[in-house]
Amino acid sequence: MAVVAVDIGGTTVKGALFDVDGTVLDRATVATFPTGMSAVADGPGGPALAAVTALVTQLAASATASGRTLTGIGLCSPGLVDAERGRVVVAVNLGWTDLPIAELLAARFDVPVALEHDARAAARAERAARLAADKPVDEFVFIPIGTGVSATVVTGGTIVHGATGGAGEFGHVPVVPDGEVCTCGQRGCVEVYASAGNVLRRYREAGGALAGSTRELVDLVGTDPIAARVWQEAVEALATGVVMLTAVLDPGAVIIGGGLGEAGDRLLVPLRAAVAERMRWRALPNIEQSLVGAGAGLAGAAILVNTQSTSTP
Amino acid sequence: MAVVAVDIGGTTVKGALFDVDGTVLDRATVATFPTGMSAVADGPGGPALAAVTALVTQLAASATASGRTLTGIGLCSPGLVDAERGRVVVAVNLGWTDLPIAELLAARFDVPVALEHDARAAARAERAARLAADKPVDEFVFIPIGTGVSATVVTGGTIVHGATGGAGEFGHVPVVPDGEVCTCGQRGCVEVYASAGNVLRRYREAGGALAGSTRELVDLVGTDPIAARVWQEAVEALATGVVMLTAVLDPGAVIIGGGLGEAGDRLLVPLRAAVAERMRWRALPNIEQSLVGAGAGLAGAAILVNTQSTSTP
């Protein structure tokens, strides 16, 4: 028996074939849009769904070739996701509107299919990883920082989806009044200061020329004053947001994931200091790096199959 | 059969005797501290516990006099409350530290006793009232605005307590950088602009002289420019906080309660406008007045007896 997990992104669709015990048996990645194609769909799901289908076909064949039976598919997608009904309500960068992707794939591959929002799937993987590491956590906030910034709230071991499935938009919490304009139309959002792309953009706009990537910028924080200032502004924006989350939700842990989470102590140490500086009035949550790292979406999608309601063939 | 509910406050302890169907049979209120006494305890619980005990004794006698059997006691308290263990961990204005109040009263009155944080008990009452009014809501934030400002988060019908029972401190979310100093030590908190007492304080400090109470100040918003400005600043602080709650939690409703919630449309109309102005990028929650009003704590305490774990005699 084996399960296919798929992490659908705006640039690539990543997939893996998992054994029942969680071992990765095979991996594959395809471009979400073949060169020259756009997010404009020419059928239900368009090229992005075709990419997902091709990837699942490939990994299902890999399962068969190794003598295993495919027992389910777990998907995670960006956008507004209705996990219960297996539909992507809107995913602008995939060209999807109200796509019943779980039902479509269940019919095509004749196995149950589960769907979740990508950040929530990652939070689920984080919780599972902590349980496996004997550090269980039931009250936490998972903040993946990459192209965007979001926050999945887990309380009592359950992921908060919100009234319309739109919870988690931590990136669009305004923290700098009259600050820079964000893509959402507000000013001073967490994301406009702290996402990986915006950190690099702000560095360049401030005249920084030494770093070619956010990763390089982080390496320059000790020596390049422009990198240091932009990085500190990102930390301050995140800290204001974490103070807010802590005051209202009292999480036991605030877990930083995504690409920028891999900055590790270079992010965590100043972030802890900035939060502590503001919240002298109460105990602070542990601010920690994600255990699951960049593969969180895929791992979460694999877990979904066994823990969430699925669309059946 | 009857239940005693008690809402413990820093100034008064309010109690009511409820019939099993929720009808109020009797009411009583006592001062938390008899004149001349302070919050310094001269025994476990000190004068504040003595006040609670006297009130319960009176209402229990009222039950007996009407031929009813007392079947339980529901309490709500400010401070840091461990509902599960029936303990008030800290309540500075009551002089309590780690007081096992549920256990003490269960032993004294020989009935089960349940305890909850006052704002959470109120949120529970609000949920029950909406269910009874055929307007059920499972994803909401309840914001009582009075001496303080807090926010109880309800998700999937369950109240968020947090990792240490300290969730809900919405009043101490900073929304005005470098703003006025708050009692918590931070600057620019929601509470320092929007609590009932702070609205009046800020009006007076700005030279306002026409209003003698927050209620009068609200009545003057249309005619007194100082009242108008201070009120708008309170609305803006609340709006920034509500934007944050909405982005992260996607509540179906944001329900405003407490004394200031009774300002009704004079608060709700500008608050909705200020939130909508900021959040053009997504659907907004309904921003509504509490159905339960000022008696929410007591009603919530009465509900507790039947729905929460209790300390038994």
Q: Which CATH number belongs to the domain containing residue B267 in this structure? A: 3.30.420.40
**pLDDT for res B17:** 97
If asked whether residues A88 and A220 sit together in one domain, one would say no
**pLDDT for res B232:** 97
Is there a domain that residue B158 lies in?
yes
Rounded to a whole number, what is the distance in Å from the CA of B167 to chain A's nearest CA?
5
- Which of the two residues, A282 and B210, has the higher pLDDT score? B210
Is there a domain that residue B312 lies in?
no
- Which of the two residues, A4 and A305, has the higher pLDDT score? A4
Mutate to test the interface with B, among A127, A143, A159, A249 (most CBs of B within 10 A): A249
For chain A, percent of residues with pLDDT exceeding 90: 74
Which residue intervals of chain B are DSSP H helices?
A: 46-65, 101-109, 118-132, 190-194, 196-205, 214-219, 225-249, 258-261, 265-278, 296-307
**pLDDT for res B142:** 97
**Distance (Å, whole) CA A230 – CA A227:** 5
**pLDDT for res B21:** 83
pLDDT band at A201 (very low <50, low <70, confident <90, very high): very high
Mutate to test the interface with B, among A81, A155, A248 (most CBs of B within 10 A): A248
Is there a domain that residue B220 lies in?
yes
If asked whether residues A14 and A116 sit together in one domain, one would say yes
Beta bridge partners of A16: A5, A27
**pLDDT for res B79:** 86
If asked whether residues B197 and B84 sit together in one domain, one would say no
Over the stretch B154-166, which tens digit does the pLDDT of each residue have? 999 999 999 998 8
CA-nearest residue of chain B to A163?
A: B252
The mean per-residue pLDDT over the stretch A102-130 comes to: 94
If asked whether residues B27 and B82 sit together in one domain, one would say yes
If asked whether residues A262 and A142 sit together in one domain, one would say yes
The mean per-residue pLDDT over the stretch B80-84 comes to: 89
Residue B32 pLDDT more than 70? yes
| A77-92 b/e (C-beta count within 10 Å ≥ 16 → b) | bbbbbbbeebbbbebe
State in Å, rounded, how far the first CA of chain A is from the last one: 17
Rounded to a whole number, what is the distance in Å from the CA of B298 to chain A's nearest CA?
23
Residue B294 pLDDT more than 80? no
**Distance (Å, whole) CA A204 – CA A211:** 9
**pLDDT for res B280:** 83
Question: What phi, psi does A285 have (nearest 5°)?
Answer: -75, 160
Mutate to test the interface with A, among B248, B277, B280, B287 (most CBs of A within 10 A): B248
Residue A313 pLDDT more than 80? no
**pLDDT for res B37:** 61
Is there a domain that residue A192 lies in?
yes
Is there a domain that residue A128 lies in?
no
Residue B97 pLDDT more than 70? yes
pLDDT band at A120 (very low <50, low <70, confident <90, very high): very high
Residue A144 pLDDT more than 70? yes
Does B169 touch chain A if contact means CB atoms closer than 8 Å? yes
**pLDDT for res B38:** 57
pLDDT band at A37 (very low <50, low <70, confident <90, very high): low
Sign, CA dihedral B214-B216-B217-B218, equals positive
Residue B41 pLDDT more than 60? no
If asked whether residues A303 and A255 sit together in one domain, one would say no
DSSP 8-state secondary structure symbol assigned to residue A182: P
Does A148 touch chain B if contact means CB atoms closer than 8 Å? no
If asked whether residues B146 and B262 sit together in one domain, one would say yes
Average pLDDT score over chain A:
92
Host domain of residue B201: 134-290
Whether A248 sits inside 8 A of B153 (CB atoms) is yes
For A:222-261, CB contacts with B below 8 A are 240, 243-245, 247-253
Residue A90 pLDDT more than 60? yes
Is there a domain that residue B154 lies in?
yes
Does A79 touch chain B if contact means CB atoms closer than 8 Å? no
**pLDDT for res B309:** 65
Contact criterion met (CB below 8 Å) for A100 and A113: no
**pLDDT for res B177:** 83
Lowest-pLDDT choice from A84-93, B1-10, B222-231? A84-93
Residue A39 pLDDT more than 70? no
Contact criterion met (CB below 8 Å) for A183 and A169: no
Question: What phi, psi does A27 have (nearest 5°)?
Answer: -135, 155
pLDDT band at B311 (very low <50, low <70, confident <90, very high): confident
Does A89 touch chain B if contact means CB atoms closer than 8 Å? no
**pLDDT for res B36:** 61
**pLDDT for res B281:** 78
**Distance (Å, whole) CA A99 – CA A111:** 18
**pLDDT for res B70:** 95
If asked whether residues B87 and B164 sit together in one domain, one would say no
If asked whether residues B167 and B79 sit together in one domain, one would say no
Rounded to a whole number, what is the distance in Å from the CA of B133 to chain A's nearest CA?
19
The mean per-residue pLDDT over the stretch B54-69 comes to: 96
If asked whether residues B193 and B301 sit together in one domain, one would say no
Over the stretch A287-301, which tens digit does the pLDDT of each residue have? 999 998 878 889 999
Does A181 touch chain B if contact means CB atoms closer than 8 Å? no
**pLDDT for res A203:** 98
Residue B82 pLDDT more than 80? yes
**pLDDT for res A91:** 87
Tokens encoding A3 = 């399960």
* Chain B residues within an 8 Å CB radius of A174: 240, 243-244, 278
Residue A69 pLDDT more than 70? yes
**Distance (Å, whole) CA A268 – CA A144:** 13
If you count DSSP H runs as helices and E runs as strands, how many of each does chain B have, helices first? 10, 13
**pLDDT for res A7:** 95
Lowest-pLDDT choice from A164-173, B78-87, B227-236, B301-310? B301-310
**pLDDT for res A293:** 80
pLDDT band at A42 (very low <50, low <70, confident <90, very high): low
Residue B39 pLDDT more than 60? no
Q: How many independent structural domains does chain A possess? A: 2
Residue A278 pLDDT more than 70? yes
- Crossing angle of helices B196-205 and B225-249, rounded to 10°: 140
pLDDT band at A242 (very low <50, low <70, confident <90, very high): very high
If asked whether residues B139 and B286 sit together in one domain, one would say yes
* Chain B residues within an 8 Å CB radius of A279: 186
CA-nearest residue of chain A to B155?
A: A160
Is there a domain that residue A213 lies in?
yes
If asked whether residues A170 and A64 sit together in one domain, one would say no
Please report which helix (H) or strand (E) contains residue A102, including its range.
helix A101-109
Is there a domain that residue A126 lies in?
no
- Cβ-based neighbours of A201, under 8 Å, separated by 6 or more: none
**Distance (Å, whole) CA B117 – CA B125:** 12
